[in-house]
């Protein structure tokens, strides 16, 4: 699966949010999208998922223009992992993941044995099979995020789009979720993640793209793009970058100047 975005422009009413975004990514890559609040990350993802009409430019998946695809055709190729929120109704974890198989469920039929198998396998894969019969509302934030990832995986599409998956998670769950996300990329998924943490991008991403004022200001290998100068320019924060030697290898650390 190959994703390429060319000259993507989008405006809410007259306010232009995206002004010609260029981005490409391949299967097996974890791509982190960074940028300050309002830089257009969410708008970019919503265009990518086919949730916003009326954009200019092109989004191609394996060369096919996604603008011409139906919701179903899109969902077969690209899946969305939203931020874990409070649900209106308390479905079980299993039923929640089963929703992901909707795109594999023909017409107006309800999911059958093969869809239930997919849901069960996906829960198994993420190591949360024991949560299956629990209510989604009774889970912790980290568990909810994993369930939503499982729901996206049950869609059996090649691209995963995640909107700040660690934003509301505690310290430990941030690592557990990102490790899972990283292993999905290693397994061959094309994963796009928006994040507010340059450190997270440096540690996990294969490539990063920095959005600023509706364009990709810089993209490429994390170490090349996320320099102190770039952090200063995007976030207005003076920071130093260090590789810290640990017993499990060298780890990049961003140290902001906070006085």
Q: Name which of residues 44 to 63 contact other proteins (CB under 8 A).
A: 46, 49-51
Q: Say whether residue 204 binds other proteins (CB under 8 A).
A: no
Minimum distance of other proteins from residue 245's CB (angstroms): 42
Those residues with Cβ within 8 angstroms of residue 164's Cβ, 6 or more apart along the chain or in another chain: 83, 193, 194, 195, 196
Closest by CA to 189, choosing from 46, 13, 14, 26, is 26
Does residue number 74 form part of the binding site for other proteins (CB under 8 A)?
Answer: yes
Give the shortest CB-98-to-other proteins separation in angstroms: 8
218 forms beta bridges with 210
Q: Does 83 bind other proteins (CB under 8 A)?
A: no
Residue 108 within binding range of other proteins, rule CB under 8 A: yes
Q: Which residues of 174-203 are buried (b: 16+ CB within 10 A; e: fewer)?
A: bbbbbebbbebbeeebbbbbbbebbbbbbb
Range in contact with other proteins (rule: CB under 8 A) among 29-37, 102-110, 216-224, 248-256: 102-110
What minimum distance in Å lies between the beta carbon of 160 and other proteins?
Answer: 11
Q: Does 2 bind other proteins (CB under 8 A)?
A: no
- Confirm or reject binding of residue 192 to other proteins (CB under 8 A): no
CB 35 within 8 A of CB 218: no
C-beta closer to other proteins: residue 50 or 142: 50
Residue 62's nearest CA partner among 192, 190, 149, 187 is 190
CB of 189 to other proteins, least distance (A): 16
Asked if 87 interacts with other proteins (CB under 8 A), we say yes
The binder of other proteins chosen from 14, 15, 68, 72 (CB under 8 A):
72
User: Applying CB under 8 A, does 11 fall inside the site for other proteins?
Assistant: no
Is 6 near other proteins (CB under 8 A)? Answer: no
Q: How far apart are CA 10 and CA 71, in angstroms?
A: 19
| CA atoms within 13 A of residue 186's CA, in its CB half-sphere | 7
Candidate residues 130, 229, 236, 246; the one interacting with other proteins per rule CB under 8 A:
130
Q: Are strands 207-212 and 215-220 parallel, antiparallel or unpaired?
A: antiparallel
Task: Report the b/e string of 32-64 with b at 16+ CB within 10 A.
Answer: bbbbeeebbbebbbbbbbbebeebebebebeee
Residues that contact other proteins, how many (by CB under 8 A): 47
Does 112 interact with other proteins (rule: CB under 8 A)?
A: no
Binding region for other proteins (CB under 8 A) out of 87-95, 184-192, 208-216, 233-241: 87-95
When computed from its CA atoms, the radius of gyration of the chain, rounded to whole angstroms, is 19
Q: Would you tell me which residues interact with other proteins (CB under 8 A)? A: 46, 49-51, 70-72, 74-76, 78-80, 82, 87-95, 98-100, 102-103, 105, 108-111, 116-117, 119-121, 123-124, 129-133, 151, 155
């Amino acid at each position: 699966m190959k994703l390429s975005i060319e000259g993507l422009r989008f405006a809410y009413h007259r306010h232009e949010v995206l002004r010609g975004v260029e981005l490409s990514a391949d299967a097996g890559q974890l791509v982190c999208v960074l940028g300050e609040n309002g830089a257009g990350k969410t708008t970019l993802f919503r265009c990518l998922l086919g949730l916003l009409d009326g954009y200019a430019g092109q989004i191609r998946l394996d060369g096919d223009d996604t603008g011409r695809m139906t919701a179903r055709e899109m969902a077969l190729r690209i899946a969305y992992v939203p931020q874990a929120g409070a649900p209106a109704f308390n479905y079980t974890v299993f039923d929640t993941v089963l929703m992901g198989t909707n795109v594999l469920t023909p017409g107006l039929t309800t999911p059958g044995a093969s869809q239930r198998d997919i849901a069960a396998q996906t829960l198994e894969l993420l190591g949360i099979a024991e949560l299956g019969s629990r209510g989604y509302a009774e889970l912790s934030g980290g568990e909810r995020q994993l369930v939503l990832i499982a729901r996206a995986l049950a869609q059996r599409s090649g691209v995963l789009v995640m909107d700040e998956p660690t934003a509301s998670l505690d310290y430990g769950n941030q690592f557990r979720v990102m490790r899972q996300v990283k292993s999905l990329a290693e397994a061959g998924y094309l994963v796009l993640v928006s994040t507010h943490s340059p450190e997270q991008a440096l540690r996990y991403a294969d490539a990063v793209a920095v959005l600023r004022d509706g364009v990709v200001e810089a993209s490429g290998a994390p170490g090349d793009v996320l320099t102190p100068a770039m952090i200063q320019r995007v976030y207005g924060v003076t920071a130093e970058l260090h590789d810290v030697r640990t017993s499990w290898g060298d780890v990049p650390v961003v140290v902001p100047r906070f006085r």
